[in-house]
Amino acid sequence: MQNWKVTPAEVFAASPLVPVMVISDLEQALPMAKALLEGGISVFEITLRTPVALDAIALIAKAMPDAMVGAGTVLNCAQYDAAVAAGARFVISPGMTPALLAHAAKGTAPLIPGVATASEMMQALEAGYDHIKFFPAEANGGTKALAAITAPLTQMRVCPTGGIGPNNVADYLALKCVATVGGSWMLPADALKHGNWAEVTRLSREAVELVRR
């Protein structure tokens, strides 16, 4: 499946929120994506943590061509290729390896590598990556740590993910380095279990309104 290419900056600019979607049941893929879209979110990170993840990417990318569908939890080159083949327009990893960085640099979808330290940010920069994921954000010191780490690395654009919700998302978005934030609070387990898509839409709308204040 071929998609038009986007840049890392375009991925980050597309939405102040990137929902982290763990799809275990393929039948939930489209209803989940549509509920998020109705709430004002059109960028989707579908994690490769389940057997149906690639099928979900392909399904949503085909049914919702105006949305920006990406793959998360990509750990190696083979997964990068599989995600792109399924229709992912961007790829996110919880970490980074030299092999994955080099492979994605020649690929058709931008990679957002995961980092947790200043040294890892410097390694990403050396490989040509200035749009990164700070993960896990809260466990690594939250906004104070991220502000301190990026102070001498002002060229970095960051998507913090991990432990972020309604109570602290505004604090992250207030940082100069932060362009967008990843989270899953608009996808509570109970709502997914019972197919309560109206609740997902409501929480998505609230999240969008919160970050636009």
Residue 26 DSSP code: G
**Distance (Å, whole) CA 112 – CA 131:** 6
| Mean pLDDT for the chain overall | 96
pLDDT category at 2 given cuts 50, 70, 90 is very low
- Catalytic one of 62, 106, 133, 193: 133
Cβ neighbours around 27 below 10 Å, total: 12
Q: What is the pLDDT of residue 189?
A: 96
Q: What is the pLDDT of residue 35?
A: 98
| Ramachandran category for residue 164: left, alpha or beta (phi over 0 → left; psi -120 to 50 → alpha) | beta
Active site residue 45: yes
Q: What is the pLDDT of residue 212?
A: 80
Q: Is the pLDDT of residue 195 over 90?
A: yes
Q: Is the pLDDT of residue 19 over 90?
A: yes
pLDDT (average), residues 166-187: 96
pLDDT (average), residues 200-207: 97
Note the pLDDT tens digit of each residue in 25-35: 999 999 999 99
Cβ neighbours around 213 below 10 Å, total: 6
Q: Is the pLDDT of residue 3 over 60?
A: no
In the chain, the percentage of residues whose pLDDT exceeds 70 is: 98
Cβ neighbours around 13 below 10 Å, total: 14
**Distance (Å, whole) CA 208 – CA 119:** 33
Q: Is the pLDDT of residue 1 over 50?
A: no
- Give residue for tokens 């790829």: 91
- Catalytic one of 27, 34, 45, 126: 45
Q: Is the pLDDT of residue 4 over 70?
A: no
User: Residue 149 burial by CB count (10 A; 0-12/13-18/19+): exposed, middle or buried?
Assistant: buried
Catalogue the E-assigned strands of the chain.
17-21, 43-47, 68-72, 90-92, 111-112, 114-115, 131-134, 157-160, 181-183
In the chain, the percentage of residues whose pLDDT exceeds 90 is: 95
Q: What is the pLDDT of residue 5?
A: 83
Note the pLDDT tens digit of each residue in 69-110: 999 999 999 999 999 999 999 999 999 999 999 999 999 999
